[in-house]
Amino acid sequence: MPQTDAPAAQQIVSKWLADFNNACAKRDLATLTSLFREDGHWRDVIALTWRIMTTSGRADVAAALLAAVEHMGAHDFAIDLERFPPRVVERAGETAVEAILRFETAIGRGAGVLRLSLSDNPGEDAAAWTLLTSLRSITGHDEETMRLAREEPAFERDFGGPNWLDKRQAACSYSDRDPTVLIVGGGHAGLTAAASIGALGIDALVIDRMVRIGDNWRRRYHGLKLHNQVYSNHLPYLPFPKTWPHYIPKDKIANWLEFYVEAMEINFWTSTNFEGAEYDPQARRWNARLRLPDGSERIMHPAHIVMATSVSGTPNLPHIPTLDQFAGKIVHSSQFSNPAAWRGRNAFVFGTGTSAHDIAQELHGNGAQVTMVQRSPTLVVNVEPSAQLYDGIYYGDGPTLADRDLINISFPLPVMKQAHKILTDKARALDTALLEGLERVGFRLDFGENGTGWPLKYRTRGGGYYFNVGCSELLIRGEIRLIQYHDITAMTPTGITMTDGRDLSADLVVLATGYKGPDHLIEQLFGPHVAAKVGQVWGFDDCQELSNMWVKTAQPGLWFTGGSFSQCRMYSQFLAMQIKAVEVGCVLN
């Protein structure tokens, strides 16, 4: 690719956009097709299709894009001069000109990201490799408009009436109304959704079965920290302080979530269980059953239910033959606590994912004799620097967090896989000594689908990897033992019998066997008809996107959110805008 400076990059993008706008205005499919690479991609995030979807291949992209532009009245695609300027970047091993765009539709304002490849042949125009279109705001219903509508006159006070606290308490009680949106789950997924929905002036209530806000983090195992750095984990509207550590401890997260609820004025009910709901198509509302802290039942009638119970919220308890014969303590990793109680005793940890390694290391650090039981191959990557390679967009000087988020969501799945394969090869090279040491002690390694690493494992199965913070070295040195599940003959009252005849004694079994996906609760809470209608939640669908996440499902009024802190931050705004669009009549529920 020829040398391209910033002004030249802007000229190249401007030329492509002029041709693009002209082709769209004239409904010129042939010209529009020629503006994309043969392997070009278009990803839309609710701007032109009210869906999150990716179309690949030049002919399919041009046809779908032209129809969507016409349907949504999209026009005036241009470089957004208020955001990070066009530049030459390397993405997924290729050099491209990358630009942040703005555009208008009949509904509102859009934001996009364009990547152009330059030809080595003089006089040949740039071609689009990837194009993102996303909805930024709905005209007349954007966050600033909603904020001004809620604003009280600066000096208006009623000294004989309710003050701010009185109003907050009344609003949170729901004694005289039902919320428009009921959010089930009060972790970071539920709170990011609530913050974004509230910013658009929609009445939302978060409920959680825990006693205290943040307990879903606070009550997890003692040594837990986030395994990616603080830069990518901010919550909407309220970033973490710059003084915070790179890796945030669980209790710090828990306390921040509690603070976030107060600061963002999120209505939140603790110790409240969601027991299920039925949809009334005539009223376009749910009949939702809540079990309150005092044991009484409250029936609410929200128009929307957002399930924010996490992609790793319900423990997975696999069938392990003869486990019921074991007379010692059995606990899932989500309930594990007090490692000091097992000093000098034998503990077996089933699983080799992140939680399994962290719990094994925690038990070892407290004087227990620990054995890990490997059930399937596992991806292992050093937490630094290797695991952080995949979040490189958030490091260093440059774009704002909002611009980095927009760039992050602009990668279609095929390009993401291409990039992750390169990063995984680099991580394996950096971690050669570690990986060879693990293989010497019999640890079975995995590197993801076609060597694409841990992020896509998370997006497909929610686990299957470990960010090494020292447990791998303990395994290599033999300070923590490793056995393979297929070498176990049976569990006994006092431990494990191996195929070679050995008897291994155990006092504790920790099942670090992961969590069920978010769709397993649908039939239980909403019935088999709704479960069949909605289908898969999480994992990739035919549109190369996470199934039923942050978008309207086949069941009116039912939505799902979850994933990492960054995913919830990035996509909560799109979830909120879709619910707003339903409420103001832009789209049908």
Mean pLDDT, residues 103-122? 90
Q: What is the pLDDT of residue 121?
A: 65
Higher confidence at residue 150 or residue 307?
307
CATH number of 6-138: 3.10.450.50
Model pLDDT for residues 396-448, shown as the tens digit of each residue:
899 999 999 999 999 999 999 999 999 999 999 999 999 999 999 999 999 99
Mean pLDDT, residues 320-348? 94
For residue 422 the two structure tokens come to 């390169």
Model pLDDT for residues 255-297, shown as the tens digit of each residue:
999 999 999 999 999 999 999 999 999 999 999 999 999 999 9
Q: What is the pLDDT of residue 519?
A: 76
Q: Nearest to residue 18, comparing CAs of 85, 84, 79?
A: 79
Task: Give the confidence band of 150 by pLDDT, cuts at 50, 70, 90.
Answer: confident
Q: What is the dihedral of CA 247, 252, 253, 254, to 10 degrees?
A: 160
Residues, the chain, total? 589
Q: What is the pLDDT of residue 4?
A: 62
Q: What is the C-alpha radius of gyration for the chain, rounded to an integer number of angstroms?
A: 26
Q: What is the pLDDT of residue 312?
A: 52
User: Rounded to an integer, what distance in angstroms lies between the CA atom of residue 589 and that of residue 587?
Assistant: 7
Instruction: Evaluate if residue 2 carries a pLDDT over 70.
Output: no
Q: Is the torsion defined by CA of 373, 446, 231, 210 positive or negative?
A: negative
Model pLDDT for residues 66-102, shown as the tens digit of each residue:
999 999 999 999 999 999 999 999 999 999 999 999 9
Mean pLDDT, residues 449-469? 92
Model pLDDT for residues 180-223, shown as the tens digit of each residue:
999 999 999 999 999 999 999 999 999 999 999 999 999 988 88
User: What are the structural domain ranges in the chain?
Assistant: 6-138, 170-313+518-584, 315-515
Cβ atoms of 214 and 271 within 8 Å: the answer is no
Cβ atoms of 79 and 95 within 8 Å: the answer is no
Cβ atoms of 425 and 451 within 8 Å: the answer is yes
Model pLDDT for residues 50-71, shown as the tens digit of each residue:
999 999 999 999 999 999 999 9
Mean pLDDT (the chain, rounded): 94
Instruction: Evaluate if residue 107 carries a pLDDT over 70.
Output: yes
**What's the whole-model pTM score?**
0.94
Distance of CA 346 to the CA centre of its chain: 36
Per-residue DSSP letters for 397-432? SSS-HHHHHHHHHT--HHHHHHHHHHHHHHHHHHTH
Mean pLDDT, residues 339-368? 96
Cβ atoms of 351 and 333 within 8 Å: the answer is yes
Mean pLDDT, residues 576-582? 98
Largest Cα–Cα distance in the chain?
82
Cβ atoms of 399 and 84 within 8 Å: the answer is yes
Q: What is the pLDDT of residue 407?
A: 98
In angstroms, the Cα distances linking 341 to 171, 406, 505, 509 are: 44, 47, 17, 13
First-to-last C-alpha distance (Å) of the chain: 47
- Residues paired with residue 97 on neighbouring β-strands, in sequence order: 88, 116
Q: Helix, strand, or coil here: 186?
A: coil
User: Rounded to an integer, what distance in angstroms lies between the CA atom of residue 498 and that of residue 491?
Assistant: 9
User: Rounded to an integer, what distance in angstroms lies between the CA atom of residue 332 and that of residue 80?
Assistant: 50
DSSP single-letter state for residue 545: S
Q: What is the pLDDT of residue 1?
A: 43
Q: What is the pLDDT of residue 104?
A: 98
Instruction: Evaluate if residue 155 carries a pLDDT over 80.
Output: no
Q: What is the pLDDT of residue 159?
A: 81
Alpha helices in 467-564 (DSSP H): 471-476, 520-526, 528-534
Task: Give the confidence band of 313 by pLDDT, cuts at 50, 70, 90.
Answer: low
Mean pLDDT, residues 504-520? 88
For the domain made up of 315-515, give the CATH fold: FAD/NAD(P)-binding domain (3.50.50)
Distance of CA 491 to the CA centre of its chain: 37
Per-residue DSSP letters for 228-263? S-GGG-PBTTBPPPTTS-SS-BHHHHHHHHHHHHHH
- Report how many helices (DSSP H) and strands (DSSP E) the chain contains, helices first: 17, 27
CATH number of 170-313+518-584: 3.50.50.60
Q: What is the pLDDT of residue 123?
A: 61
Judge if 6-138 and 170-313+518-584 fold alike in CATH terms.
Answer: no
